Amino acid sequence: MSAIAFPVPDPGIIARREAIIAGLARLVPAASLITSADERRPYETDALTAYRRMPLAVVLPETTQQVAAVLRFCREEGIPVVPRGAGTSLAGGAIPQEDAVVIGVSKLNRILKIDYANRIARVEAGVTNLAVTGAVSAEGFFYAPDPSSQLACSIGGNIGMNSGGAHCLKYGVTTNNVLGVTLVTLEGEIVEIGGGHLDAPGYDLLGLINGSEGQLGIVTEATVRILRAAEGARPVLFGFPTSEQAGAAVAAIIGAGIIPVAMEFMDKPAIEICEAFAKAGYPMDVEALLIIEVEGSDAEMDAQLARIVAIAREHGVSTVKESKSAMEAAAIWKGRKSAFGATGRIADYICMDGTIPTGQLPYVLKRMDEIVKGYGLRVANVFHAGDGNLHPLILYNCNDPVEAQKAEDAGMDILKLCVEVGGCLTGEHGVGIEKRDLMTVQFNEADLAQQMRVRAVFDPRWLLNPAKVFPLEGRVAA
């Protein structure tokens, strides 16, 4: 694997490690401070496991006030800080460095308030994504963003990366479902941004925080939107003879103004991998599969599906299979949600994350296949087709340095292709370290400088998650 560069560790900070640990120990309970090598090791990487760095120390605060005290201490001591949610980042967003303190939010795991009348919930940043829905489902509500890692990933990490999920086509990504946050700045100030209402006066600072990858402060609490569950939901499997036909059907459905709840794509390799794992009943005689879910009353679902089926037939659909029970529907989604884990059973892989205009799907699917085959590798495609958020899984052998380099190069070429056709480098995984050096492909020098000036207002010394998002060369101060 090619060496993505990290900032050179400050030997002065490393030399002061014992004094720094002693200072941290005065700020948090003993059980919240991790210092031994064995206990720090789980924090040396995230879901981008090809890269790892052992942090100086790990702090797991139990309150917002403790987060503030630790941040204030790190700023005064000039110590880099790496915020961490659940560590499910596929772009390396939570990978630390040797002179940095990791601040994790896993102990901030309380649901503070549920207000059904106003359809909001107030939660701490360490609450898992799925736990929000679990807390309100008995009353017929749910939290819409549903990343594949929703069983493990936390609300704080979702906000940092602006996570999405299968149902973001209709309900939007994290930024569309978060109404307010408690943010702790590097100075240790605790600020409230937004709140339990639909909009706030003044600048849209909440929009700035969502997707900021822990570079502007640490979110410790969030007010999220909860929604009434629909009367019914029905996922349907559509099998196609080619990926290009499936892609064209997606573009035509969206172009017709139809917005299903979800529209997920799998190609032949992904179908075989997921079916072998989940036994979901996917058709095995097709080259591409769409999982399209509609919701509402029976009449509403029938009407919407009739339009979708008609468009699919115009694009050569060969299989249409409706779920007939809640068990079948759960199996269909189990296969899709298990795609990344199921793929890990058969090969190492890099999971890319780029976004394109849906009208470009047929062309991009063809080009992605050509790019990966050009490197002598295989690819399994599974992604959110309705909003053009691609997740090609490039398969390789991590023990072969040559293959590892080819996989990384193929991934970079795919991301460049996304930008070339009018898309962008990321849809929901963030930039992290993975795409940091491709930011110059998406943005020109003036664009990057303006973004860095905004960032530097919050953190002029670049102490917060400093290895991430922006190329290491040419960084600007406030």
Compute the radius of gyration of the chain from its Cα atoms. Answer: 22
What distance in Å separates the CA atoms of residue 232 and residue 228, rounded to the nearest whole number? 11
Structure tokens of 61? 């605060």
Contact (CB, 8 A) for 106 and 62: no
> What is the predicted pLDDT for the residue at 1?
44
Q: What is the distance between the alpha carbons of residues 56 and 46, in angstroms, rounded to a whole number?
A: 16
Give the pLDDT confidence score for residue 2 in this predicted structure: 54
Of 374, 368, 379, nearest to 343 by C-alpha is: 379
Mean pLDDT to the nearest integer, 298-319: 96
Cα distance between residue 42 and residue 61, in whole Å: 17
Cα–chain center distance at 449: 25
Place of tokens 């659940």: 86
Which residues are 349's β-sheet partners?
A: 395
Q: What share of the chain in percent tops pLDDT 70?
A: 99
Cβ contact 210:175 at 8 Å:
yes
Q: Which amino acid is at 143?
A: Y
pLDDT at 77 over 80: yes
Max Cα distance, the chain (Å): 69
pLDDT of the residue at 477: 63
- What pTM was estimated for this model as a whole? 0.93
CA distance linking residue 59 with residue 21, whole number of Å: 10
For residue 398, the model assigns a pLDDT of 87
Tell me the pLDDT tens digit for each residue of 340-398: 889 989 999 999 999 999 889 889 999 999 999 999 999 999 999 988 999 999 999 98
For tokens 């991790």, the residue is 34
- 244-284 pLDDT, tens digit per residue, is 999 999 999 999 999 999 999 999 999 999 999 989 899 99
Bridge pairing between strands 141-142 and 81-84: unpaired
pLDDT attached to residue 357: 93
Other Cβ atoms within 10 Å of 404 Cβ, number: 18
Give Cα 345 distance to the centre of its chain: 21
